[in-house]
């Protein structure tokens, strides 16, 4: 063969490193919600692959504006060349924080689980405090948390304790492990209750392994070591589950961490094996439906709702299973509000210097929601729901909420 004489092209050239793939097409910049809303952000193309060329020097770091990246990951979703833009930005952020030190605020926001535990233990008091103008003024001064940003309500009875107290149902066809995340545990136990009820209604046993914060607050607050520590604990425990147990998450961001970021961004050993078993709750229910196992005996739910697709859901690459599910329910009038990022991006919009930007990013969504005038806005992500409620005054819920109503739960 002639290739044996001449050698093939691939004898010389290997596959290039992913960062090399950027062709400067600028698609990422056009979808970046931050770049679209402020002049002072250079955008993912520059802060990701372009700056990465210079970061190969250990001492050099292009850091300006890195903290303005909200971590929505839309750039990665859009990139036609599969450049892992977010990973470059996160690593550079983290490196900058390691060199310069972290602010108290970023430390606190990185430890949301700790914060939530405290909030939950002192629930009535904490909730009162979070709504007190003087306390909020002090929080803004000391912690840099914007006084206008509503903080989540904590509940005294955690999901974890609720789950332990409840009676165990009979043996079922399938078993899933529920990664409920800090939000369900400390702030919205009812969502967790609904998830459990819906799964059990479909003959699925739910188990709740001991779990740690998924680590995304630590990642976005430039504390990768902490995220790796949390992630490592979760991976160890989840890998201890029997092989036939799937893992369910009801928070899009927690789910994304388990599915993807543990293995890629954080490089946690054993994370690949966890990632392939993780499903978003709606993704899982839709798969049940496709397998003909979903109980379709729904009561009609007469409601007109909007659906907002969270940015991190788009990163899952599973489409919008919640919309498909809800369309199975009689009476539900569902429409997508396709106006992009809500702007809060977890702890991003909480920060004093980013609050205004966060509201500006979300303004298009807010306008559309207000104009539509529906009963409520559905979103799979808890911080999206907070932001939509704050920005529009509309009611907001997880899509599971409607499904639970269709199954007769209130």
Partner 1 sequence: MPDTTTGVVVIGGGSTGAGALRDLSLRGIDAVLLEKGDLASGTTGRSHGLLHSGGRYCVNDPAAAIECVEEGRILRRIAKTTIEDTGGYFVSVSEEDLAWEPRFVEGCAKAGITCERISVEEARRREPALSQHVRTVFWIPEDGHLDPFYLVMGNVESARRRGAQVRTYTEVTGFLKTDNRVTGVLTRDAITGEETSIGCQAVINATGAWAGFVARLLDVEVKVVPVKGVMVVLSHRVAHATINRCHKPGDGDIIVPALSVAILGTTSARVPHPEVLPIEWDEVRQMIEEGALMADGVSTARAMRAYAGVRPLYDLGAEAEGREMSRNFAVIDHEERDGIAGFASIVGGKVTTYRLMAERVTDLVAQRLGVRTPSTTADVPLNDHEEEMDQLRHRPAQLGVPKPHGDELGLQPLICECELVRPQDVAPWFKDPAVRTLEDIRRRTRSGMGPCQSAICSYRLAGRLVTERGLDGATATRAMADFLETRWRGVRHVFWGSQLRQAQVTAGLHLELFNLDRQLMFQSQAPSDALLPPPLPGEGRGGGEEAHAPQVASKR
Binds partner 1 by CB under 8 A, chosen from 1, 2, 56, 165: 56
| Residue 239 binding partner 1, by CB under 8 A | no
| Residue 60 binding partner 1, by CB under 8 A | yes
Q: Looking at beta carbons only, is 66 or 271 nearer to partner 1?
A: 66
**Torsion over CA of 279, 285, 290 and 295, rounded to 10 degrees?**
160
Binds partner 1 by CB under 8 A, chosen from 1, 2, 5, 58: 58
DSSP label at residue 193: H
| Residue 59 binding partner 1, by CB under 8 A | yes
Q: Looking at beta carbons only, is 92 or 254 nearer to partner 1?
A: 92
| Residue 222 binding partner 1, by CB under 8 A | no
Residue 373 CB burial class (10 angstroms; 0-12, 13-18, ≥19): exposed
Instruction: Measure the CA–CA gap between 187 and 18, rounded to whole angstroms.
Output: 39
| Residue 5 binding partner 1, by CB under 8 A | no
| Residue 370 binding partner 1, by CB under 8 A | no
Instruction: Measure the CA–CA gap between 120 and 236, rounded to whole angstroms.
Output: 26
In Å, what is the CA distance from 203 to each residue of 27, 54, 250, 259, 293? 44, 54, 18, 24, 9
| Residue 353 binding partner 1, by CB under 8 A | no
| Residue 172 binding partner 1, by CB under 8 A | no
SS (H, E, C) 59-114: CCCCCCCHHHCCCCCHHHHHCCCCCCHHHHHHHHHHHHHHHHCCCHHHHHHHCHHH
- Least distance (Å) from partner 1 to the CB of residue 25? 5
| Residue 61 binding partner 1, by CB under 8 A | yes
Binds partner 1 by CB under 8 A, chosen from 35, 42, 345, 347: 42
Q: Looking at beta carbons only, is 59 or 297 nearer to partner 1?
A: 59
Which SS3 state, helix, strand or coil, does residue 17 take?
coil
| Residue 24 binding partner 1, by CB under 8 A | yes
Q: Which stretch binds partner 1 (CB under 8 A): 8-16, 212-220, 264-272, 295-303?
A: 8-16
Instruction: Measure the CA–CA gap between 213 and 9, rounded to whole angstroms.
Output: 47
Cβ pair 203, 172 in contact under 8 A:
yes
| Residue 30 binding partner 1, by CB under 8 A | no
- Least distance (Å) from partner 1 to the CB of residue 84? 14
Cβ pair 397, 385 in contact under 8 A:
yes
Binds partner 1 by CB under 8 A, chosen from 1, 4, 9, 297: 9
Alpha helix positions (H), 101-172: 104-110, 112-121, 123-130, 133-143, 159-165
| Residue 98 binding partner 1, by CB under 8 A | no
- Least distance (Å) from partner 1 to the CB of residue 39? 8
| Residue 103 binding partner 1, by CB under 8 A | no
Rule CB under 8 A: which residues touch partner 1? 9, 11-17, 20-26, 39-42, 45-46, 50-51, 53-54, 56-66, 81
């Amino acid at each position: 063969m002639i290739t044996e004489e001449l050698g093939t092209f691939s004898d010389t050239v290997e596959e290039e490193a992913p960062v090399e793939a950027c062709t400067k097409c600028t698609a990422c910049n056009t979808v970046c919600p931050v770049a679209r809303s402020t002049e002072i952000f250079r955008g993912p193309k520059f802060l990701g692959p372009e700056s990465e060329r210079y970061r190969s020097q250990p001492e050099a770091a292009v850091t300006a504006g890195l903290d303005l990246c909200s971590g929505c990951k839309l750039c990665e979703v859009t990139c036609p060349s599969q450049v892992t833009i977010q990973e470059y930005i996160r690593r550079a952020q983290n490196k900058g924080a390691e060199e310069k030190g972290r602010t108290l605020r970023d430390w606190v926001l990185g430890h949301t689980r700790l914060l939530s535990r405290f909030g939950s233990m002192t629930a009535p008091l904490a909730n009162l405090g979070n709504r007190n103008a003087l306390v909020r003024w002090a929080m803004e001064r000391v912690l840099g948390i914007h006084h206008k940003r509503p903080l989540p309500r904590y509940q005294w009875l955690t999901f974890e304790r609720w789950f332990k107290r409840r009676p165990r149902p009979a043996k079922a066809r399938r078993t899933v492990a529920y990664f409920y995340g800090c939000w369900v545990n400390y702030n919205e136990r009812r969502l967790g209750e609904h998830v459990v009820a819906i799964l059990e209604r479909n003959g699925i046993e739910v188990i709740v392994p001991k779990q740690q914060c998924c680590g995304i607050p630590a990642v976005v607050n430039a504390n990768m070591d902490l995220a790796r520590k949390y992630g490592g604990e979760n991976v160890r425990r989840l890998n201890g589950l029997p092989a036939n147990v799937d893992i369910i998450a009801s928070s899009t961001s927690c789910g994304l961490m388990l599915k993807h970021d543990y293995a890629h961004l954080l490089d946690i050993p054993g994370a690949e094996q966890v990632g392939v078993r993780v499903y978003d709750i709606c993704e899982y229910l839709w798969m049940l439906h496709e397998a003909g196992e979903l109980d379709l005996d729904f009561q009609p739910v007469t409601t007109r709702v909007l659906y907002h697709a969270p940015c991190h859901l788009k990163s899952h690459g599973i489409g919008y299973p919640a919309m498909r599910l809800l369309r199975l329910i009689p009476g539900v009038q569902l429409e997508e509000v396709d106006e992009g990022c809500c702007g809060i991006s977890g702890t991003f919009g909480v920060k004093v210097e980013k609050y205004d930007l966060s509201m500006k990013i979300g303004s298009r969504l807010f306008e559309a929601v207000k104009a539509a005038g529906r009963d409520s806005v559905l979103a799979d992500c808890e911080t999206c729901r907070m932001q939509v409620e704050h920005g529009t005054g509309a009611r907001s819920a997880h899509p599971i909420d409607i499904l639970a109503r269709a199954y007769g739960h209130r």
